[in-house]
Structure 1
């Protein structure tokens, strides 16, 4: 009877840049809205706290209508930016970037709101043009400067251009001054059109400069994300050849992964009668079977923080405790072994693969882990007597007609040995001078 095979799906290399750059822009938008909200709120509080003291000292006096105009504006803008911030955070959680039209509309509203308040306040002044020389118009600069966080050149430039254009328009809208010569020098700065046109032009230039800075910040963030994307791809591709843990360890040390002694548990796993199966099926069917089988093994090994060091065609070698140390590698290896047997039975029952029997052997001991080879070709390796003994223990499953054998060192390291465990007594192992006591776990 033939069972369908389910080949492991290849993990797509998803664009790290595409997934993260839009989120990075949203984060900067959230920061910008938060800063603006805080600035407006802080200005309101300071203005209200200092007003009585400054008035008493004749240092500043703002008529009541002006205060009743400016204060609600500052509070309203603080609330507006705070609500924008909350909405942007929801967008960030959904990973949904903002449409460009919203950003331009938002910039238009912010700049125009300043111009509107400036115009309203000018109606309460004896000389309306004084408002264009007041600190109130410097709010334009806050929006221009913080537009750099939007990471878009044209948005920053647009913010500066409409700020400058509206500032110049305000001059002609507020009044049409006529000066009689000779006039004082102060009149040049308070009334002459050229001064206000120059100030509006400077706001426009500030917007362009902010756009340039915004583009530089954007390029730096883009390069950083792309560099991280390259590293992620390297880890993914390298991890497909070895394991993600080894890939990270090697990349962290820039390829110079120094050899060191570690206490590890080594598991050898062998597919029974694989040679007979391979001789009666096509290479494509054999590969499908291997992908299905090793897909189960890899998933469980990663769940138990192990590393598949070698695929041997009809089996594999698995390490627990290197390159990432664990407290009790023997116990983790045994738990992983039982999980493998359970999942293989489930896959057979679910008709995901043909009936499969495996042999598992585990031993624990010290090993040397690290890269071996030359400067041009290296391979991560686990070397030591523990590796040889683990392989020999697994092979004894055929002799004892068992599926799961471990050494006494592994058995003694278990906090709670399984109820199915039974001693097979001291056993001679090829290449070892002394007999080793083995335990059958299944």
Structure 2
């Protein structure tokens, strides 16, 4: 065991420096291991006369060593170990049978084909070990290929949708089933984006969007939210789907407040052009799932809660605010010293009944 550990470290060290040809040491190592029971059996013959050592359990060590050689995942090495064991056992059998004491043995014990048959089994064991090794390598290769393919899919789609959504798709064999769940929805919009973009080149517009959205999306991800759709100057984010947390409303509010503080700091430092945003938060039951044609689907989030969140974001223009939340969110969060301004009986587009709205910022 000590020799094997040292040898493996030496092989890894040489391989690190590009000396892969020194892999032949693995064959030297297996040769030495196979020779151990051969030497032990030969030395044992000095204490037990004639071929009796060949009948002891010590000869089974050959099979153990051949079996352990599969851990090297090298079919050629497995065959080599079986052939070495077969040859050494055959030579040892002939040596002990030629001993003068063997002449006094019964015909059964002095029958060489019996020992040669055992040697053939050792050689056959090497070929069987090689077959097992090949099957294991195939399984490992398929797993690694599948893992690599999965990583590629996660990388490609992770640039367009959230990692959690990609995981949901892969775990459900490329199909996301419609589910009803409670979640908090955030709509965010950059104010006066059209005015900013009208005299800018496409490259400048993209650079501005990346500079603004990069830290905002990072904050949302940090608070376990998922950006579902980016729509030019704004986006929709979900807190609670496809993975729910203990208090997604609190996470969404914390993310919105941190976005406001970070944006303010970047505006003051001049890292980005003067930028204002509007955020609307609402919570309620939503329906999540894949929507679209057979060859083109999108992870969709629908429901009244989504519509109300979008309307709240638009109300920021009317109230000259930056963060509005619904009563459903307000009842589930802790404001930590913030004093919201309550707007009673606010009518929103598309709804006949007024709602309570709380202005946080």
Partner of 1:419: 337
> Which of residues 289, 292, 302 is equivalent to 2:221?
302
Residue 112 (str. 1) matches residue 47 (str. 2): no
| 1:126-170 Cα distance to aligned partner (Å, 9 max, x none) | 32x322232211100111123223322112112212222322343
For residues 336 and 191 of structure 2, what CA distance do their matches in structure 1 show?
24
Residue 324 (str. 1) matches residue 246 (str. 2): no
Measured after TM superposition, the shift of residue 424 of structure 1 is: 3.9
Alignment gaps of 5+ in structure 2: 13-19
Residue 314 (str. 1) matches residue 233 (str. 2): yes
Measured after TM superposition, the shift of residue 258 of structure 1 is: 2.8
For residues 183 and 385 of structure 1, what CA distance do their matches in structure 2 show?
95
Residue 126 (str. 1) matches residue 49 (str. 2): yes
Residue 339 (str. 1) matches residue 258 (str. 2): yes
Partner of 2:17: none
Residue 238 (str. 1) matches residue 238 (str. 2): no
CA contact (8 A) 1:429 1:435 kept: yes
Partner of 1:441: 360
Residue 371 (str. 1) matches residue 272 (str. 2): no
Measured after TM superposition, the shift of residue 349 of structure 1 is: 6.4
Shift in alpha-carbon separation, 1:121–1:365, aligned structure 2, 3 A:
same
Q: Greater shift after overlay, 361-370 or 270-279?
A: 270-279
Shift in alpha-carbon separation, 1:137–1:375, aligned structure 2, 3 A:
same
CA contact (8 A) 2:343 2:359 kept: no
Shift in alpha-carbon separation, 1:353–1:153, aligned structure 2, 3 A:
farther
| 1:363-387 Cα distance to aligned partner (Å, 9 max, x none) | 1122222222233332221112222
CA contact (8 A) 1:421 1:439 kept: no
Alignment gaps of 5+ in structure 1: 1-76, 92-97
CA contact (8 A) 2:96 2:102 kept: no
Q: Greater shift after overlay, 315-324 or 285-294?
A: 285-294
Shift in alpha-carbon separation, 1:441–1:109, aligned structure 2, 3 A:
farther
For residues 379 and 360 of structure 1, what CA distance do their matches in structure 2 show?
24
Measured after TM superposition, the shift of residue 180 of structure 1 is: 10
Residue 223 (str. 1) matches residue 146 (str. 2): no
For residues 261 and 354 of structure 1, what CA distance do their matches in structure 2 show?
40
SS of 2:145's partner is helix
SS of 1:425's partner is strand
Q: Greater shift after overlay, 98-107 or 141-150?
A: 98-107
Residue 264 (str. 1) matches residue 186 (str. 2): no
- Aligned length in residues: 349
Partner of 1:396: 315
Shift in alpha-carbon separation, 1:266–1:120, aligned structure 2, 3 A:
same
Q: State the 4+ residue runs in structure 1 displaced beyond 6 angstroms.
A: 178-183
* TM-score normalised by structure 1 residue count: 0.70
For residues 84 and 228 of structure 1, what CA distance do their matches in structure 2 show?
30
For residues 350 and 130 of structure 1, what CA distance do their matches in structure 2 show?
90
Residue 384 (str. 1) matches residue 303 (str. 2): yes
Measured after TM superposition, the shift of residue 345 of structure 1 is: 4.3
Partner of 1:279: 198
SS of 1:434's partner is coil
| 1:332-356 Cα distance to aligned partner (Å, 9 max, x none) | 1101112222343455567654443
CA contact (8 A) 1:112 1:166 kept: yes
SS of 2:159's partner is helix
* TM-score normalised by structure 2 residue count: 0.84
For residues 294 and 286 of structure 1, what CA distance do their matches in structure 2 show?
12
Partner of 1:357: 276
Higher RCO structure, 1 or 2 (CA under 8 Å, sep 6+): 1
SS of 1:421's partner is coil
Shift in alpha-carbon separation, 1:134–1:303, aligned structure 2, 3 A:
same
SS of 1:186's partner is coil
CA contact (8 A) 1:418 1:441 kept: no
| 1:9-63 Cα distance to aligned partner (Å, 9 max, x none) | xxxxxxxxxxxxxxxxxxxxxxxxxxxxxxxxxxxxxxxxxxxxxxxxxxxxxxx
SS of 2:108's partner is helix
